[in-house]
Chain A
Amino acid sequence: MTLANDTPTALSAAAIAQAGSRRLQRLAMGVFCIFALGLPFVASGYHLFQFAQVLIYAIALLGLNILTGYNGQISLGHGAFYAIGGYAMAILATKFDVPYWATIPVSGLICFVAGFLFGLPALRLGGLYLALATFALAVATPQLLNYRGFDAWTGGSQGLQLGKPHAPFALPLTSDQWLYFLCLVCAALMFWAAANLVRGRIGRAIIAIRDHPIAAETMGINISFYKAMCFGVSALYAGVAGALGSIVVGFISPDSFGLFLSLSFLVGIVVGGLASIWGVLFGALFIEFVPNYADQLSDLFGESAKALPGAIYGILLIGLMYLMPTGVAGVIRTAPGLLSRLFSRPKRV
């Protein structure tokens, strides 16, 4: 499938840019790997906890990005799948004594089924209507988790306490270090799978569905199947992330999965860059750290501003969108072009 505007010159220019950016990409990846692997030996337990959260959010964002960024289906309710994953993990571990590591794939599969089933009716809904349906899911989730009929399983509004796992095989690691590595390994696997998915046949199909559904259909792509699959896979990612989240935090309650979590996920993929695999890391960093900075910034304005972290977060968000409307990945992607345009036509940026 070639794109209509790929003239030969554009192609060769793109090829050169690609070769350059590939080298850069390798370098960045190397630096990143060293950082990710070395971190546990220099950072404190508290920082490791934070970075484990970043990895967890990154996995969830990756799932949402497959759905929204690559397939063009908007979801305002991914917190729901994150919650299902988290609760699946907690219930399996506390009620069925399943070892915590084994709950991760199971939670993912449960979410895959849940996502696939949700995706079936959602197939008929496009754009705004899908946004409403998923928004409804986000709003309903904490209430359903609170539902008294499920109390025996979910622990109701009091939630469930989980023990903190220690490193296995007598590895000389603290439990924070171990949990960080667990998240890192899971994240690496999930990233690898996602990168393969979107580059392969399936990836091309789901992107084609996003860009031109009718053309895609006439080319023989089974739209309903791919869309529902996309929902399933996306939920699987959220579910794995949710399970890891429960393990790392060691506690779960309906309040952990409010509407704001779902909105944060959306914020994360837009900040990171839609339809970008690596961008989600930036998105995850943003949703993990920026609320803390907003809180600290509000301190700077004196005691009476203590009530304002929400507003400061909002301002930071809008400001960032203003500077990078296509997210961090978008800036990185267009940076070379942007620079050359800057120099050739200084008046129009």
Chain B
Amino acid sequence: MISRRTLLQAGAVSAAALASGLRPARAANAVGVTEAEIKIGQTMPYSGPASAYGVIGKADVAYFKMINEAGGINGRKLNLISLDDGYSPPKTVEQTRRLVEQEQVAFIFNSLGTPSNAAIRPYLTENKVPQLFVATGAAMWNDPKNFPWTIGWQPNYQTEASIFGKHIVATKPGAKIGVLYQNDAFGKDYLTGLKAGLGADHAGLIIKEASYEVSEPTVDSQIVSLQDSGADVLLIAATPKFAAQAIRKTFDIGWTPVRYMTDVSLSIASVMKPAGLEKSKGVITANYGKDPTDARWKDDEGYKGWAAFVAKYLTPADLIDSNAIYGYGVAATMVQVLKQCENDLSRENIMRQAANIKDLELPMLLPGVKINTSPDNFAPIRQEQLESFNGESWSAFGDLLQG
């Protein structure tokens, strides 16, 4: 008790710091790591409004299981503790503290959600716990100066939207742009990125912005409003269900704007087909991964590997789920980092290696897209390819773009 009191007075500010300070034997170098396993923590919305994303956690767990069955990494098994946070930031904080203080995980991996990750970042930074490959496309994760323990993974929404903005300026300088966006961090980032891409000179091209709530049944009314505004370019920053509705509705009301769509919704099976393949012709997206429902990858080695993985470790419905593929890719990146760590699995080294990925190619990324990080680049995937939909599959045009 005395030693504890003294420690407290010595200025240990949080119980987490206290806990790690009290266990020097284990904490000195590699918290959460033993000869047999590496303990990893994660929060996922398995319940609540964002439960569609829970499949990412499922895929992460399955991927690590596959690695473990093949002998693990340097003989260590990966033990991913994936907890439900119901997409509520206070719960994320609670569960993350449990992972760090109670479960003593080595690091936090691929927790989902912009607000949830924002809520735990100060805590993890203060306690020097790596917050790796967060599952969100916000632009705020590439900030190594202020938050050296937090790193993103996917191209961020702002980058993607700015690619669209530049493309519009280059191909249709007099465009009148209408934007359909989801009224949350995802949709608003898109709007910001689009404006950045258009540049100050062309910001006036946006003539109408219409938002929707995820609780709304349809976006039909918004599409009608956007048409009425006279726009001839439509940017769709919407999740799959609403993107499909938007594509279908534009066609049905006889409106033919140039349609740009976020890569969040590029799945052929779960967006283009529901919207109608004919109705989806001409939609443009910017992409970095392979759509498993695109016939052009049918004989691709990467796709075959994915299909075999799903057959063995997941359920058949997951084969076409873009969220599951996301998990597959991000887990593979994690494994690469842990391999690079060799036998130094201290938090410092894990973070160092996460910021030291060189030209990593993954089976389900587009050919040529490479993952690169460095101490001043915490945005692992930066390349995207413009693609347009030809009624059957996506066809690439132009060069691979660097955001």
Interface, chain A (partner B; CB < 8 A)? 44-46, 48-50, 53, 139, 143, 146, 148, 156-159, 161, 164, 166, 172-177, 245, 249-256, 258-261, 291-292, 294-295, 298, 303-304, 306-310, 313
Contacts and interface: CB of A to CB of B under 8 A. Distances in A.
A304 B316 CA distance: 12
B188 to A, nearest CB: 6
B168 to A, nearest CB: 22
A64 B87 CA distance: 24
Given A158-B118, A306-B57, A310-B51, 4 more contacts: A251-B122, A260-B88, A291-B91, A292-B95
Contact of A45 (B14, B55, B138): B14
A251 B215 contact: no
Contacts of A148: 188
18 contacts: A44-B101, A50-B94, A158-B114, A158-B140, A158-B185, A172-B8, A245-B90, A250-B122, A254-B184, A255-B113, A255-B115, A260-B48, A261-B88, A291-B84, A306-B58, A307-B55, A309-B47, A310-B48
Interface residues of B, number: 56
A284 B138 CA distance: 34
B15 interface: yes
Given A143-B183, A258-B88, A307-B54, A44 B102 contact: yes
B19 A53 contact: no
Interface in B97-153: 97-98, 100-102, 113-116, 118-119, 122-123, 138, 140
Given A48-B15, A158-B114, A258 B89 contact: no
A256 B92 CA distance: 10
B213 interface: yes
Interface in B326-383: none
B119 A249 contact: yes
Given A157-B115, A161-B122, A255-B88, A176 B58 contact: no
B184 A157 contact: yes
Nearest to A176: B15
A46 B102 contact: yes
Contacts of A292: 83-84, 95
Given A48-B15, A143-B183, A159-B89, A303 B188 contact: no
Interface string B15-29: 110110000000000
A275 B315 CA distance: 47
A208 to B, nearest CB: 38
B90 A303 contact: no
Nearest to B100: A46
Contacts of A245: 90
Contacts of A260: 48-49, 86, 88
Contacts of B123: 250
Q: Which of B9, B83, B89 has the most CB of A within 10 A?
A: B89
Given A159-B115, A159-B118, A298 B184 contact: no
Nearest to B119: A251
A146 B119 contact: no
Q: Kindly list the 7 A-B residue pairs having the minimum CB-CB distance in the complex, ordered from nearest.
A: A45-B15, A251-B119, A295-B84, A310-B47, A253-B115, A157-B185, A46-B97
A341 to B, nearest CB: 39
A259 B49 CA distance: 9
Contacts of A251: 89-90, 93, 115, 118-119, 122
B93 A175 contact: no
B12 interface: yes
Q: Which of B15, B48, B138 has the most CB of A within 10 A?
A: B15
A255 B47 CA distance: 14
Q: Which of A174, A251, A252, A304 has the most CB of B within 10 A?
A: A251
B46 A174 contact: no
A255 B49 CA distance: 10
A258 B86 CA distance: 10
Nearest to B12: A174
Interface string B40-61: 0000001111010011011001
B90 A249 contact: yes
Contacts of A250: 93, 119, 122-123
Nearest to A249: B90
A174 B93 CA distance: 17
B13 interface: yes
B82 interface: yes
A307 B13 contact: no
B62 interface: yes
A298 B61 CA distance: 15
Nearest to B95: A292
A295 B54 CA distance: 12
Contact of B15 (A50, A158, A174, A255): A174
Contact of A46 (B5, B98, B114, B115): B98
B97 A146 contact: no
A258 B51 CA distance: 14
B58 A174 contact: no
B338 to A, nearest CB: 21
A46 B16 CA distance: 8
Nearest to B52: A307
B94 A306 contact: no
A259 B48 CA distance: 10
Q: Which of A148, A158, A161 has the most CB of B within 10 A?
A: A158
B90 A306 contact: no
A291 B47 contact: yes
B49 A303 contact: no
B15 A44 contact: yes
A308 B46 CA distance: 7
A7 to B, nearest CB: 50
A177 B93 CA distance: 17
Nearest to B103: A46
Contacts of A157: 114-115, 183-185, 188
A303 B94 CA distance: 23
A146 B184 contact: yes
A45 B8 CA distance: 13
B161 to A, nearest CB: 15
Nearest to A250: B122
A309 B46 contact: yes
Given A256-B90, A258-B88, A309-B47, A175 B115 contact: no
B61 A303 contact: yes
